[in-house]
Structure 1
Amino acid sequence: MSAFYLLTKPNCPLCTQAIQLLHSLDLEEPVELGVVDIAEQQELQEEYGWLVPVFIRGKDDAELRWPFDANQLLEFVEQ
């Protein structure tokens, strides 16, 4: 099982879309998803405040920043 993190913030409709995209994927293996609220960490808020949603792959810290579609997300998750 691969681990991923989703950087998000409160009242973020794009973040909701990103989670829905992830749930819509036809994955061979399940993924572990940690949701990180950047509003709770000043450093993350400064770095990612205008960029969320951002998926981060746990094994190599690679980032997939919005905008992305289901195909791009699938490719990112399966790498």
Structure 2
Amino acid sequence: MKLFFYTGPQCSLCDLADEELKATTHYATLQIEKVNIRNSTDLYHLYGARIPVLKREDNNKEIGWPFSSADLEEFLQ
């Protein structure tokens, strides 16, 4: 499964989200594309106050911070 991981530079919450993501049972099978929202005006306006956000490519569902590894397990099913 492919995920877009919307993040930004020096984002400590993004670091925490990355740790939660690594704790999931699905981590080894995920294709994760980290996207720096500062590289796009549109993404910055969409996600600037919400990062970190994970978005599934297959169904466009999103989960935003705060989330736990248990929340992610449910999100990834």
Instruction: Specify if TM > 0.5.
Output: yes
Q: What code does the residue aligned with 1:12 have?
A: C
Letter aligned with residue 17 of structure 2:
A
Output the aligned Cα RMSD. 1.4
Shift in CA distance, 48/17, structure 1 to aligned 2, threshold 3 Å: same
After TM superposition, the structure 1 = structure 2 runs for residues 43-62 of structure 1, keeping only pairs within 5 Å, are 43-62=42-61
CA shift for structure 1 position 38? 0.1
Aligned counterparts of 2:34 and 2:27: Cα–Cα separation in 1:
21
TM-score (norm 1): 0.90
What secondary structure sits across from 1:39 in the alignment?
Answer: helix
5+ residue gaps, structure 1:
none
CA distance in 2, matches of 1:28, 1:9: 21
Say which is worse superposed, 51-60 or 27-36, in terms of deviation. 27-36
2:55, 2:62 within 8 Å by CA — same for their partners in 1?
yes
How many residues of Structure 1 are paired with residues of Structure 2 in the alignment? 77
Q: CA deviation at 1:28?
A: 8.3
Q: Tell me: CA distance 1:10–1:46, structure 2 relative to 1, closer, same or farther (3 Å).
A: same
* Mapped partners of 1:19, 1:77: distance in 2: 15
Residue in 2 aligned with 1:17? 16
4+ aligned runs moved over 6 Å, structure 1: none
Partner of residue 73, structure 2: 74
Instruction: Name the counterpart of 1:34.
Output: 33
- SS of residue in 2 equivalent to 1:56: strand
Gaps of 5+ in 2: none
